[in-house]
Amino acid sequence: MSTKIHPVEVIHYPDSDGKPMAENTLQYQWIVMVKENVEAIFEGDPNIFVAADNLIYALEGRPKEVKAPDVYVAFGRPKGHRGSYKVWKEGNIFPQVVFEILSPGNSGREMVDKRMFYERHGAEEFYMIDPEYSTLEVWLRKGDRLVSQHVPKDFTSPRLGVRFRTDADELMLFGPDGERFLTVPEIRKRADREQSRADREQSRADRLAAKLRALGIDPDTV
């Protein structure tokens, strides 16, 4: 009598859904601005992970139960590179905060499907920003649901401490320190300034080391 051995099915969880990160430059700028500024807020905490355009697989064995938020924040998860975020490999922690940045190609049905996915799997805060019209929609968790909130001209995220302010039909975001979120060009300029400062400090250190060596002193022992 022989026993038939069935091969174990290998389930694949692709790291890409084949869709572009953004459909236009305005959407891209907002995605990068939100991601980089939120990441900067929590750069000193090794257990807060921030990502953009990264697939979230909610359930093991169900690769179709997946969405790619524009930006998400997972509290209680270590920083580091990930091809995708598999909840069962992340201590069963679903990202608590999710951002979607709208583009003209987003349909109402698509956004409802995304919100229901985030609601179903435990997101606590869901923010939908339309950069073209400077509008903000907010849902916060109440029990097992994400409930739409009345958003005044000033609203602060309970989890992030990020303040959203609408002034003269312009939506602006501020960190917990009160500083306005930097735009993509401003982020680049800041990075360039920091690199220039680091280069100057290294140049000074090199010159000092050379002078010490000229005096017969090993700079590594000083």
What interhelical angle do 184-214 and 25-41 show, nearest 10?
50
The pLDDT tens digits for 75-121 are: 999 999 999 999 999 999 999 999 999 988 888 899 999 999 999 99
The pLDDT tens digits for 37-74 are: 999 999 999 999 999 999 999 999 999 999 999 999 99
Per CATH, domain 25-181 is 3.90.1570.10: yes
Whether the full predicted model's pTM is greater than 0.85, yes or no, is no
- 197-216 burial, b at 16+ Cβ within 10 Å, e below that, comes to eeeeeeeeeeeeeeeeeeee
Q: Residues with Cβ < 8 Å from 149, sequence gap 6 or more? A: 138, 139, 140, 155
The alpha carbon dihedral of 102, 106, 112, 113 has a sign of: negative
Q: Which of the four pLDDT bands, split at 50, 70 and 90, describes residue 167?
A: confident
Q: Which residue has the higher pLDDT, 4 or 163?
A: 163
Residue 128: what are its φ and ψ, rounded to 5°?
-120, 115
CA angle 58/59/60 to nearest 5° reads 135
